[in-house]
Amino acid sequence: MDLMEYKARELFESFGIPVLPGVVLTSADEIGAAISAITFPSVVKAQVPMGKRGKAGGVVRVDDETALRAAVGRLIGMEIGGHVCKKVMVSPFATIERELYLSMILDRGSKTHLIIASGEGGMNIEETAEAHPELVYQIPINPQLGLIKPTAQYIADKLGFDKDKTDQLFSLLKALYKMVTERFLMQAEINPLILNGDGKLIALDAKVSVDDDALYKFPDLVAYREEVEDNPLVGEARAFNFLYVPCEPDGDVAVMSNGSGMLMSCIDLLAQYGRKTVAVIDLGGGATSERVAEAIRILTKTEGAKQLLINIFGGITRCDEIALGIECAVSEYGIGLPVVARFEGTNKQKGLEIVEGIENVRFADNLPLAVAAIVEGGGAR
């Protein structure tokens, strides 16, 4: 799960990482109560789960309350990269002497945490990494030693820091490593990390990705996820331990499968025929007929869904349970969308016998045939 900047900033602050003050607003009407905590000039930042907000017009400098009200009114409700802004964060305008880049990620290749640093931070860091990779430094952290001073010294030397800034960097890196390990973060990125006019290192922006499997350990992050979730079907599916993923808003094919690789295969094959996937559900393993019926019910509630493609490899998940779930969804929930089902594995013949009697369901013997059936008109017989 990716945290929006205001939540990532709160997390940074709780671990002692230097950040600027931030006031979160959901409308211009809240400015009056919050104005005493706001200094001018300030920067108003749209809170959406993506980067490059500045290039999209989602970051605005304001010099007085009138400009603040105008900026908040314009940004709230603004769509940026497919996300609607519902909150903004107001922070003091910072004097920037230098912009840098710093992140810490869980690197599966080296099976440890990796520090990535560059003296060329800011909006164009991706271009810098591509054109001048020698300016981006990657340093693994030995998990037995943890974050040690020589590691910070190496990075500081590469960035041209004096002793004071090296000490600041070491303190910041220690706090960052503590946060990443204790909160099970996949990534914590500061871009830019700035040197302000007083020579202090400050995290001016924050991007954090949390391991979804660890969220249950942190009630505050679970509450945050529920608060910011835009699509109610995501939460409804989560209650059954399904993974529901909205895809293309203008798609019309909903896809259900039991594995991310199989889902991607479905999406790719549909795309080859010029068809777009509107949403998918990953059932996981061992789904019962009742759970299959619930997954179909949830998936077919997706706005714009006109056909349903089901692609299951039955190992732990039995094919007859899948077929019974389809039958239940049609008979008890009144699912009338054209359905193309493909399943393979345990109790396949029993499953075939069940779906043969369902009017709006067509069986296909393999995935290419299933996608071709969708293109031809779905489950219509």
pLDDT per residue as tens digits for the range 316-371: 778 999 999 999 999 999 998 999 999 998 899 999 999 998 989 999 999 999 99
pLDDT of amino acid 381: 42
Residue 114 binned pLDDT confidence (cut-offs 50, 70, 90): very high
- Same domain? For 195 and 271 the reply is no
Is residue 1 domain-resident? Answer: no
Sheet holding 361-363, edge to edge: 243-246, 277-282, 253-257, 307-314, 339-345, 361-363
pLDDT of amino acid 346: 86
Residues serving a catalytic function are 101, 189
pLDDT of amino acid 285: 74
- Same domain? For 74 and 115 the reply is no
Which residue, 304, 312, 295, 237, is CA-closest to 276?
Answer: 304
CA distance 320 to 314: 9
Mean pLDDT of 145-156: 95
Residue 76 binned pLDDT confidence (cut-offs 50, 70, 90): very high
- Same domain? For 60 and 115 the reply is no
Residue 19 binned pLDDT confidence (cut-offs 50, 70, 90): very high
**CATH code assigned at 76:** 3.30.1490.20
Is residue 297 domain-resident? Answer: yes
- Same domain? For 104 and 88 the reply is no
- Same domain? For 356 and 253 the reply is yes
Pairing of β 201-203 and β 185-196: antiparallel
Is residue 3 domain-resident? Answer: no
Residue 380 binned pLDDT confidence (cut-offs 50, 70, 90): very low
Average pLDDT, the chain: 92
Place of tokens 């220690």: 174
Residue bearing the bigger pLDDT, 284 or 115: 115
- Same domain? For 68 and 151 the reply is no
Predicted model pTM: 0.74
Lowest model confidence (mean pLDDT) among 68-72, 207-211, 228-232, 248-252: 228-232
pLDDT of amino acid 55: 83
- Same domain? For 167 and 247 the reply is no
Which residue, 69, 87, 68, is CA-closest to 78?
Answer: 87
Domain that holds residue 45: 21-92
Sign, CA dihedral 280-283-289-293, equals negative
- Same domain? For 71 and 102 the reply is no
- Same domain? For 173 and 271 the reply is no
Query: What confidence tens digit (pLDDT) does each residue in 22-41 have?
Result: 999 999 999 999 999 999 99
Number of domains in the chain: 3
**Is residue 379's pLDDT more than 60?**
no
**CATH code assigned at 331:** 3.40.50.261
Tokens, residue 310? 């089901």
pLDDT of amino acid 80: 87
Query: What is the distance between the terminal CA atoms of the chain, rounded to a whole angstrom?
Result: 42
Question: Which residues does residue 45 pair with via DSSP β-bridges, in sequence order?
Answer: 59, 89
pLDDT of amino acid 378: 60
Q: Which of 67, 92, 117 is the last residue of a domain?
A: 92
> How many CA atoms lie within 13 Å of 91's alpha carbon, on the beta-carbon side?
21
**CATH code assigned at 197:** 3.30.470.20
- Same domain? For 118 and 171 the reply is yes
Element (H, E) at 88: strand 88-92
- Same domain? For 365 and 238 the reply is yes
CA distance 247 to 254: 9
